[in-house]
Homo-oligomer: A and B are copies of this chain.
Amino acid sequence: MTTTGLDEFALLDETWRSVTPDAARRMLIAAAHAFAGKGYHATTTRDIASLAGMSPAAVYIHYRSKEELLFNISLVGHETSLKLLSRIQGGDVVERLRNAVAAFAGWHAEFHTTARVVQYELGALSPEHHAQVAELRRQIDQQMRSYIADGVAEGVFDVPDLKGATLAVLSLCIDVARWYQPGGKRTPDEIGALYADLVLRMLRPAN
């Protein structure tokens, strides 16, 4: 019955600004935090409602089911991270990959709450919703791969296995959402910079 901490959530996570009405947005944010903290299956609709400061039945005014809440979070999360990755441009090939890795890894730190739901609750989506999200994941892979391939074409990266390297880079960034803690020693930006540096070291040619 308490809304403690929810305003803080809303400030931290501007991902949901476009969601209306207000109660529906608060419900989404509450669900994202509950799913990230305890997992989708361990979260009850009563948990979500009380986090949003409303009664259990209020969930069903705005969403058809608990799964639809998850789908909304997953969809917006995937779209946001894909947009972030796709809008990198300008600079040379090295700087573009540096910015791409920094942005993608940094997002998984800063929005680790959303990112955890996005990355670890895919299996709880309905088959139809899962397919929709899988297409976005394919696009994310394609985008990161093209940044690396551009550097290979120019000869500034040495990558024997393009598919394998892309997999490793994405995997490295995604796993940030698992271990990152807000109170830790590194800020999301520092993590982005560290990871971008490590990835560029990994792909640089031998001299």
| Chain A residues engaging chain B, CB cutoff 8 angstroms | 37-42, 119-120, 123-124, 160-161, 164-165, 167-168, 171-172, 174-176, 178-179, 186, 194-195, 197-198, 201-204, 206-207
Residues of chain B within 8 A of A123, CB atoms compared: 37-39
The residue from B160, B175, B194 contacting A161, defined by CB atoms under 8 A apart: B194
In contact, B39 and A168 (Cβ under 8 angstroms): no
Which secondary structure dominates chain A's binding surface?
helix
Query: What are 25 pairs between A and B in contact, CB < 8 Å?
Result: A37-B123, A38-B41, A39-B39, A39-B40, A39-B42, A39-B123, A119-B178, A120-B120, A164-B186, A164-B194, A164-B198, A168-B194, A168-B198, A171-B172, A171-B176, A171-B178, A172-B172, A174-B175, A174-B178, A198-B202, A201-B201, A201-B202, A202-B202, A204-B206, A207-B207
Residues of chain B within 8 A of A124, CB atoms compared: 42
